[in-house]
Amino acid sequence: MYKVLILPLAKIDVKEAADWYNSRQEGLGRKFTLHVRQKINLLRKGPFNYVTRYDDVKTAVLDIFPFMIHYTVNNAEKLIIISAVLHTSRNPDAWKSKHESPDIID
């Protein structure tokens, strides 16, 4: 199974989206966060099961919410690097500015 490294700004993407969903309906942000975690767990098992969107960046669409997880795979280190979690209507080039110190999840 692959490890997952989530860049800090990707974490901010998730928090901002969860906050927005909570402002619409109490508990919906928690449901959104749960779906992000579930998709990440699927990525850990099969990161190459998803589409390469541009260059070496792959994307995984959440099942219920209109968001995509943008990530790259370091196969040699068995590492998935999540750079952004963006609404599908946002410009995908936004992930390119996501370059900060990562956190590793075992």
Q: What are the structural domains of the chain?
A: 3-105 (3.30.2310.20)
pLDDT at residue 55, rounded to an integer: 87
Which is nearest to 50 in space by CA: 69, 34, 37? 69
74 burial type by CB count under 10 A (0-12 exposed, 13-18 middle, 19+ buried):
middle
Neighbours of 9 (CB within 10 A): 16
Q: Tens digit of pLDDT per residue, the chain (106 long)?
A: 999 999 999 999 999 999 999 999 999 999 999 999 999 999 999 999 998 988 899 999 999 999 999 999 999 999 999 999 999 886 656 555 544 445 555 5
Give the C-alpha distances (Å, rounded to integers) separating 51 from 10, 32, 78, 93, 106.
Answer: 19, 22, 18, 16, 24
Whole-prediction pTM? 0.84
| Structural tokens at position 92 | 């995908």
pLDDT at residue 54, rounded to an integer: 84
